[in-house]
Amino acid sequence: MRSGLKGGASGGRLRGATASLILCGPAVALYGGFIVLPALLGFAYSLTDWTGWTGTPDFIGLANFRELCSDTLFFKSVRFTLFETAMIVVFFTFFSMALAVLLDKLRVWKGLIRGLFFYPYVLSIIVSALLFTYLANYREGAVNLLLRALHLDMLAQDWMADRALAPYFIFTLVAWSGLGFFTTLYLANLQTIPGELYEAARIDGAGPLSVFSRIQFPMLLPTVTTNSVLALITGINLFPQIVVTTQGGPGFDTFTIGYYIYHLGYQKDRLGYAAAVSFMTFAALVAVAAVQVAVLRRRQVSL
């Protein structure tokens, strides 16, 4: 009887392992083949001077990483990326929360107004960026045409090519296209807050500010974690917006890390060095994301 039980247990484990292999195997194989393996190959290429034109790159050890330490354009790209990311994280974490709370209070045209905010997210990033390129053209862009029509010619600017304005132009594009998504996550979270809590607060005489600070904000913290991590990823990965609009200009002013990697790999034919930049960025991102998630998880509350 005991051995029968033992045999049954080991058979169950075997069946479980087989089921796991069947269920997870394809996903693991695809993830390994298309994500992990290329990442490992990327690191291998970072140790070479590969240009992409030949199949036999030369091994150069850590020379690319040494060059990276004194690469002023890389650090300029990092600074710009962090500047954009800071604005994006703050905006998508807090402004979209405030907007979600306001939209949650809507009683009329609820679906329509929420839909209007979500609509830009449905557009591809390329379409959104092209749209902004047309809007922001100095001579014929809708923004400047409107300003001129209102006799505010002095406010008409070269939004994309003025180095003081270009960073905010990029931010506005990202904010416009992503706001609906981040707001929707908060709205979904707001729907999960039990009505009893609001009822109790009302009986206790709590005002809107107290309801927000004592009930909604603590209950939204899991989404704050999610949104801030997603916003961080959005900021660090800024690339298509740059390619379509400023192409890194004026000069090198709007180079993000992603655009710099593209510039190195495809405009300068330095794929080995581009791989080194990618690897360092990846390592830095993993560290930042780990710290961010650890800090935010500690602050979450659960019912």
Partner 1 sequence: MAVLGLVLLGGLAGCGGDSGGNVIRVTRNIGGREGFRHHFETWKATFEQANPGWTMELTDLGNADGAQFYKTRIATGDLPEVIMTWQLTNFLADGGNLVPLPDSYYEQFGIPLPTPYEGKRYTSQAGMQIQGIAVNKAMWDDIGVTEPPESWEEWFAAFHKLQEKGYKPLVLGGREWSAAQPLFYALSSDLYDRTVDSGQASWTKRRDAGEVRFATDPIVRQAIETMFYLVDHFVDKGAGSDGYNEEQRDFYGGKGAAWFMGCWMAGDLEPNRVGFDMEYWPVPSMIGRPPVFICTSAMPNGWAVTTSATGEKLDKAMAVMEAFYDPGVYQAFLNGECQFGEAAKVPAKAPQYDWAPAQHLIENMSENLAAYGTTRGFHIALDDMPPPSFHDLMARVMQEIVAGTRDIDRLLQILDDEWESARKGM
Q: How far apart are CA 190 and CA 19, in angstroms?
A: 37
205 makes contact with partner 1 (CB under 8 A)? no
Q: How far is the CB of 52 from partner 1 (least distance, A)?
A: 4
Considering only residues 53-72, where is the footprint of partner 1 by CB under 8 A? Answer: 53-55, 71-72
Contact 256, 238 (CB under 8 A): yes
Q: Out of 206, 269, 292, 293, which residue is the one contacting partner 1 (CB under 8 A)?
A: 269
Q: Out of 244, 270, 276, 280, which residue is the one contacting partner 1 (CB under 8 A)?
A: 270
Q: Out of 51, 172, 292, 300, which residue is the one contacting partner 1 (CB under 8 A)?
A: 51
Q: What is the DSSP letter of 38?
A: H
Q: How far is the CB of 268 from partner 1 (least distance, A)?
A: 4
* CA atoms lying within 13 Å on the CB side of residue 128: 21
Token pair listed for 4: 């029968």
Contact 225, 297 (CB under 8 A): yes
110 makes contact with partner 1 (CB under 8 A)? no
Q: How far apart are CA 69 and CA 46, in angstroms?
A: 14
In degrees, to the nearest 5, what angle opens at C-alpha 201 toward C-alphas 198 and 205?
135
For residue 252, which of 157, 123, 163 has the smallest C-alpha distance?
163
19 makes contact with partner 1 (CB under 8 A)? no
Kindly state the number of chain residues that form the binding site for partner 1, as judged by CB under 8 A. Answer: 39
Token pair listed for 221: 């913290």
Measured from the CB atom, the residue of 153 and 199 that comes closer to partner 1 is: 153
141 makes contact with partner 1 (CB under 8 A)? yes
Binding site for partner 1 (CB under 8 A): 22, 25-26, 29, 33, 49, 51-55, 71-73, 136-139, 141, 158-163, 247-253, 264, 266-270, 273
